Structure 1
Amino acid sequence: MFRRREAVPFAFVAEADRFRSNVTPPARQRPSLSQVANRSLVGLTVVAGLVGSLLFGLPAMDPGSSAGHSQKSEASHRR
């Protein structure tokens, strides 16, 4: 197989690293009040869900209270 390699001037390669376009991108539009309110409500809902799951999950993860302990106390009251 014959492979054809073209010579590339070093100045072109060096210039490619620092090339900048003269075309400016369009300006970003500012979000409207309803978009800001929507984003903040979604964020607040996510945070409230995480806090709620933590509050409901902490008693279940408490090593001091176990299901066997409460069953034992109920059995002693039945006698």
Structure 2
Amino acid sequence: MFHRREAVPFAFVAEADAFRSNVTPPPRVRPSRSQLVGRVLVGLTVVGGLVGSLLLGLPALETDRTPGHSQNSEASQRR
């Protein structure tokens, strides 16, 4: 079988580390005041929804711990 051996130039790898682009990215666009207010309101709405669901859901997750109330079945009371 015939294998062709060619010299592979690895100089481009060394040059790639030193390469710096002269193209600068565009400057960041600063959000306007109304955009900032909108973002804050959306954030507060999300946080308020989470806190509200937590406050409304916690009573449903609590167990009834009244001392006089027990969950004995009728079969255990007839003994």
Bigger Cα Rg: 2
Percent of aligned positions that are identical: 76
Which residues of structure 2 form unaligned runs of 5+? 70-79
Rounded Cα–Cα distance in structure 2 between residues aligned with 1:21 and 1:15:
12
**So what's the TM-score if we normalise by structure 2?**
0.66
Q: Residue 29 of structure 2 aligns to which amino acid in structure 1?
A: Q
SS at match of 2:24: coil
| Paired position in structure 1 for 2:57 | 57
Q: Tell me the TM-score normalised to structure 1 length.
A: 0.66
**SS of the residue aligned with 1:29?**
coil
Cα distance in structure 1, aligned partners of 2:64 and 2:18: 64
Instruction: Answer 1 or 2: which has greater helix percent.
Output: 1
